[in-house]
Amino acid sequence: MSKRTVLSTLALVLLGAATPTMAQDRRPEYGPSVTIATAKMAAAGALAECQKNNWNVAIAVVDTHGFLVYFERMENTQYASMDIAIGKARSAATYRRPTRAFADVINKGGPATATLPGVFASPGGLPLTVDGKVTGAVGVSGVIADQDEQCARAGLEAAK
């Protein structure tokens, strides 16, 4: 093999290795962590949506590091939902994306997303943002995933 062929092959390999990095989506930057007052507003909004629909859920609000800032659960919520709500919130905050994104990748047969640490591949975890920066996240669990996400979205709206 000539030196030119080796260099051309090397250039193609390096270009191919760089492409996934360049194609990565741009997630928002982190901002200051959510305050307790905002966390309570988010939880109240999610709670109101769930009460309106007679859904028993657990609601967690975490800061940018995934640490719990506020938690609430409704009467008769299944026990597993407490940990799941916190997990969804942590996943949304630390990966700066809705937890639905992980479920979508897995359902499309994408890379081994489920093996990433702290991933909850079920809708219901949404990042809280202020001025386009992630300040924390809301996680809801207790009903079907789309309903969890509906309640979490109501929490985001209430926290604006």
Read off the pLDDT of residues 86-135 as tens digits, 9 standing for 90 and up. 999 999 999 999 999 999 998 888 777 778 899 999 999 999 999 999 99
CB 94 within 8 A of CB 111: no
pTM to 2 decimal places? 0.82
Predicted local confidence at residue 25, as pLDDT = 66
> In Å, what is the CA distance from 160 to each residue of 35, 79, 154?
12, 30, 10
Per-residue confidence (pLDDT) for residue 15, from 0 to 100 = 31
Domains of the chain (ranges; CATH) run 29-158 (3.30.450.150)
pLDDT at site 110: 77
Tens of pLDDT, residues 28-63: 999 999 999 999 999 999 999 999 999 999 999 999
19 pLDDT tier (thresholds 50, 70, 90): very low
Mean pLDDT on 61-71: 98
Q: Where do we find the tokens 């657990």?
A: 58
